Amino acid sequence: VEAAVSAGIDLSGFDSKVPAEERILWARGRGLSVGAVYTRYSTPRQRSTRDQVRACVEFAAAKKVFVPPEFICIDEGKSGRKSRRKGLQRMLAILREQALDVFLTFMLSRLFRKAHQCYRFVDEEVVERGIRAICVADNIDTNDKGGWKLLVSIKGAMDEAQVETTAEQVRNAQVGLFHEGFVTGALPVGFRRRIVPEARLTNRGLPRAVPEVDPDAAKLIRQHMEWIAEGMPIIEGWRRWVAANGPCDPRATGGRMALESYRRLISNEKLIGIWKFGQKRSTWSSKRDYTRQIPQPEASIKVARYEHLRIVDDELFFRVQERLRQGTRGRHKVRRKEGRPVVVWDLVTDIYHCPDCQHRFQQRGEDGQSMACANDECKRRGMVRRREAFRAVAAKLEELLSHDQELLDQCAKSAIARDGKGDEECRAQIAEEQRQIEKLGRKIDLLVEIASENTAGNREEEKAKIRLAKQERAGHQMRLAQLMACEQADRKVLTVEEVRAVLAEFRSLLERTGSGEAGPEVVYKAAEAFRALTDGRIMVHFDPRLGRKRTVARGVFVPALLKTVQQKLGLRPAMDGLTASSVEVWLRKPPQLDAMAEQVRQMYEVEKLGFREIGDRLGCGSGNACLAYRRAYEMRGLPLPERRTNLGRPRKAG
Ligand SMILES: [Zn+2]
């Protein structure tokens, strides 16, 4: 109304309360044109929505154009890069559906960032429909028949160039800030901002900040990294993080960390003090009409190392990366009733293997309490109870671990071996790992370059390739960190107590979890120890018992005690061929007779005892002793030898 008055328009009969159609009719009756206004406002520096609208409406009134408030479309906080803007969508609908005479906007750059898009919009959406377009501040009016096309093109190109220069300036300024150690973006969990009062203020007049380690979050992260490295599944770690109300990104939905963010958290290089800038760069895709985040080649990424921002050591970090790389190892098949606590034999089913078809075992039977070969076509079928099998193998391991003198000797030997040729070998391995890491770095660069050049096609596939190469490199980085740690540890002298403590820890882990009552921290740790000590593979043989229906189950594995202990102590595994021989255990308790058969045979044939004597010693009676002796041959499929003449105790009188 104010603008109309100052433009000398007669407002008699105008009623702002009636519907838009009636007001438009009134305007047409007065010989006025009808117009629409579009404004966009994205940063505080640009002229705000109010200013833009006022300028447009005043300009319209001066040109005898009536703009009903219903025809004003506004985008706020929207970047000009995105064409999916609600206000713009509404504007398009009005242009298409309403009888308009004039379209007004404050500046051409309000429409789009790119010149060709501005031109296309004005030409196709406005002028083609017979509507006049006016850009108030740019002095563009399509009623100016010849000149407007050129003006729109030039103006648009100039705006575009300015936007790009500004973007480059912003980026350069950020690189500078990054090198000075200032915060240039959102900080990940584990870090917080520390204000530097003496630094110059930001463009928005806010104080600058540097990142620092958040001690509480860092403590929690270290705990979780330990858990994951020791064998806790990622999903369980994440559940605990959420349950403990662990910190999360303030932008996270629902105020809790997502599983994917948890994964990102524990694989973030910032945890070991590596900060990168410019890993991705926004690039405008004209064809697709939006910006894409293009990963940049490693050479152009700015890297800084800040020891004071380290949260975990390299060795632990890369051990966790290795776990992430290995994935779930088929453990996702674990079926567990809701609320039932996790027990150690739930976590090691995949260690058992079928000797016939080499398939691993899977939960079977009632409630998944047993396990069998996962191959449905396998001829050699049989089932063992998982709990029984675990206990049998664990008992054997405990027994082996208590023969510690031998292990002590071996560990001492490998500790000594490091002084001489060990050092050279270690350095050679370090060089080899470094070579592999560099090689993979070049491969990643190449993949990134290919991905950034591909404007169409399947980007998921390329992303997967890059991820895979990065994971492979993480494996080498872990081994490098371990080797470096070994080289450092060379000067350390290993004590007998240290080895004993490790052996005792393994024994107690197996003992405590065998009962099924240990807490989850111990369970995951024990499962990892079990896996390591059995070298991750137990062959399960089902042997038929001659003349019996049920089979017996035998577990055969090569214990890797020395390797496991060495690893635990941070020693480089001995390279000389210390191949342990395989051991056998009954995975299913054999029938009494079978169990004592071998012992009875020994007593009878080697110790030359009589069955009565044997029966007394074993407390089973002479009849059973005799049967057990026969069974010893039956089990091996051998004929019973000639009965020897009685050398035993004479019959009792009477
Ligand atoms: Zn099989």
DSSP assignment of 435-489 equals HHHHHHHHHHHHHHHHHHH--SS-HHHHHHHHHHHHHHHHHHHHHHHHHHHHHHH
pLDDT surpassing 80 at residue 146 = no
Note the pLDDT tens digit of each residue in 518-540: 777 788 888 888 988 888 889 99
Q: DSSP alpha helices (H): ranges in 362-422?
A: 386-402, 404-417
Gap between the Cα atoms of 29 and 25, Å rounded: 6
pLDDT surpassing 80 at residue 191 = yes
pLDDT surpassing 90 at residue 323 = no
Note the pLDDT tens digit of each residue in 554-570: 888 888 887 787 777 76
Nearby residues of 200 by Cβ (< 8 Å), 6 or more positions away: 208
Which of the residue ranges 255-269, 451-465, 471-485, 629-643 would you say has the lowest mean pLDDT?
451-465
Query: Helix, strand or coil for residue 191?
Result: strand
Which parts of 247-360 are beta strand (E)? 274-277, 280-285, 290-295, 302-305, 352-353
- Residue with more model confidence, 401 or 47: 401
Distance, CA 352 to ligand 1 centroid (Å)?
11
Gap between the Cα atoms of 528 and 506, Å rounded: 10
Average pLDDT over residues 168-179: 74
The pTM of the full predicted model, rounded to 2 decimals, is 0.56
Name the average pLDDT for the chain.
80
Q: How far from chain centre, in Å, is Cα 573?
A: 29
Distance, CA 383 to ligand 1 centroid (Å)?
11
Gap between the Cα atoms of 638 and 235, Å rounded: 53
Distance, CA 374 to ligand 1 centroid (Å)?
7
Which parts of 201-357 are beta strand (E)? 209-213, 274-277, 280-285, 290-295, 302-305, 352-353
Distance, CA 370 to ligand 1 centroid (Å)?
15
Banded pLDDT at 465 (limits 50, 70, 90): confident
Q: Which candidate, 590, 653, 592, places its Cα nearest to that of 621?
A: 592
Gap between the Cα atoms of 478 and 321, Å rounded: 8
Q: How far from chain centre, in Å, is Cα 127?
A: 52
Average pLDDT over residues 495-515: 82
Banded pLDDT at 67 (limits 50, 70, 90): very high
Note the pLDDT tens digit of each residue in 118-141: 888 888 889 888 899 998 888 888
Banded pLDDT at 221 (limits 50, 70, 90): very high
**In 3-state terms, the chain is what percent helix, strand and coil (to 5)?**
50, 15, 35
Q: Which candidate, 646, 552, 650, 558, places its Cα nearest to that of 598?
A: 552
Q: Give the amino acid at 632.
A: A
Distance, CA 313 to ligand 1 centroid (Å)?
42
Note the pLDDT tens digit of each residue in 398-438: 888 887 677 777 666 665 555 455 567 778 888 888 899 88
Note the pLDDT tens digit of each residue in 89-104: 899 999 988 888 999 9
Q: CA Rg, the chain, in Å?
A: 39
What's residue 168's pLDDT? 73
Gap between the Cα atoms of 308 and 636, Å rounded: 67
Gap between the Cα atoms of 127 and 451, Å rounded: 40
User: 195 and 285 in contact (C-beta within 8 Å)?
Assistant: no
Distance, CA 359 to ligand 1 centroid (Å)?
6
- Residue with more model confidence, 347 or 202: 347
Distance, CA 385 to ligand 1 centroid (Å)?
17
What's residue 577's pLDDT? 43
Distance, CA 400 to ligand 1 centroid (Å)?
28
What's residue 576's pLDDT? 44
Average pLDDT over residues 146-158: 79
Gap between the Cα atoms of 232 and 522, Å rounded: 10
Distance, CA 200 to ligand 1 centroid (Å)?
70
| Cβ-based neighbour number of residue 299 at 10 Å | 8
As a whole-number percent, the residues of the chain with pLDDT over 70 amount to: 82
pLDDT surpassing 90 at residue 224 = yes
